[in-house]
């Protein structure tokens, strides 16, 4: 069976993020290797600023990549708890009042079963929220630091040639 549109979108997004992270470090490395500080003080500081911004973008991207698998694991746990809750609600609608829980080998009321699932959902949501925020912030830092690094690098490399063109 083919992949769903969501799975394709997720795969493309993952590839893009890995490509972008590789691009950031590649540009950083090449800019350091090809640096020339003979275009003046301003160009030198812009070049150095671009290195700092590109390094910040790369570190933020690595941090984000570290947390994304944990976020997906937590989403999976959340889905499991929501499925348990739905199953409990379905069984309750069918008239069942108690369940035998295999993990604990105990019989509990269906209301307790649903309450445990809801507590599990709440517990996961407590962790997911801050982690999701951290991942989003890391992406914004990566994105804007990358853009700032590229702009700074282009400005640093263009100051010399533009100065020569204007001076002629």
What's the confidence (pLDDT) of residue 164? 78
Q: Which of the four pLDDT bands, split at 50, 70 and 90, describes residue 168?
A: low
2 pLDDT more than 80:
no
What residues contact residue 159 under an 8 Å CB cut-off, 6+ apart?
Answer: 39, 40, 42, 43, 46
Q: Where are the beta strands (DSSP E) in the chain?
A: 98-101, 106-109
Q: How confident is the model over 92-112, as a mean pLDDT?
A: 84
Output the DSSP codes for 32-77.
HHT----S-HHHHHHHHHHHHHHHHHHHHHHHHHHHHHHHHHHHHH
SS3 at position 93: helix
What's the confidence (pLDDT) of residue 160? 83
16-25, 73-82, 88-97: which has the minimum mean pLDDT? 88-97
Q: Which of the four pLDDT bands, split at 50, 70 and 90, describes residue 6?
A: confident
Q: Integer distance in angstroms from the first to the last C-alpha of the chain? A: 66
What's the confidence (pLDDT) of residue 60? 97
Q: Distance between CA 163 and CA 145 in Å, rounded?
A: 26
Q: Distance between CA 25 and CA 21 in Å, rounded?
A: 7
What pLDDT digit, counting tens, does each position of 11-69 carry?
898 899 999 999 999 999 999 999 888 878 999 999 999 999 999 999 999 999 999 99
Neighbours of 73 (CB within 10 A): 11
pTM here? Answer: 0.79
What pLDDT digit, counting tens, does each position of 113-158 carry?
889 899 999 999 999 999 999 999 999 999 999 999 999 999 999 9
1 pLDDT more than 70:
no
What residues contact residue 50 under an 8 Å CB cut-off, 6+ apart?
Answer: 31, 148, 149, 150, 152, 153, 156
Q: How confident is the model over 73-83, as a mean pLDDT?
A: 92
CA angle, corner 120, sides to 117 and 122, nearest 5? 115
What pLDDT digit, counting tens, does each position of 48-57 carry?
999 999 999 9
């Amino acid at each position: 069976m083919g992949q769903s549109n969501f799975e394709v979108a997720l795969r493309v997004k993952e590839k893009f993020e890995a490509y972008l992270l590789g691009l950031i470090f590649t540009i950083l490395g090449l800019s350091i290797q090809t640096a020339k500080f003979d275009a003046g003080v301003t160009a030198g500081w812009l070049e150095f600023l671009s290195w700092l911004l590109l390094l910040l973008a790369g570190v933020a991207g690595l941090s984000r990549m570290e947390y994304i698998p944990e976020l997906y694991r937590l989403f999976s746990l959340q889905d499991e708890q929501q499925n348990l809750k739905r199953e409990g609600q379905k069984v309750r609608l069918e008239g069942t009042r108690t369940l035998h829980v295999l993990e604990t080998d105990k019989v509990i009321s269906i209301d307790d079963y649903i309450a445990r699932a809801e507590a599990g959902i709440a517990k996961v949501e407590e962790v997911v929220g801050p982690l999701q925020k951290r991942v989003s912030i890391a992406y914004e830092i990566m994105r804007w630091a990358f853009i700032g690094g590229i702009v700074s690098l282009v400005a640093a490399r263009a100051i010399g040639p533009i100065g020569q063109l204007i001076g002629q």
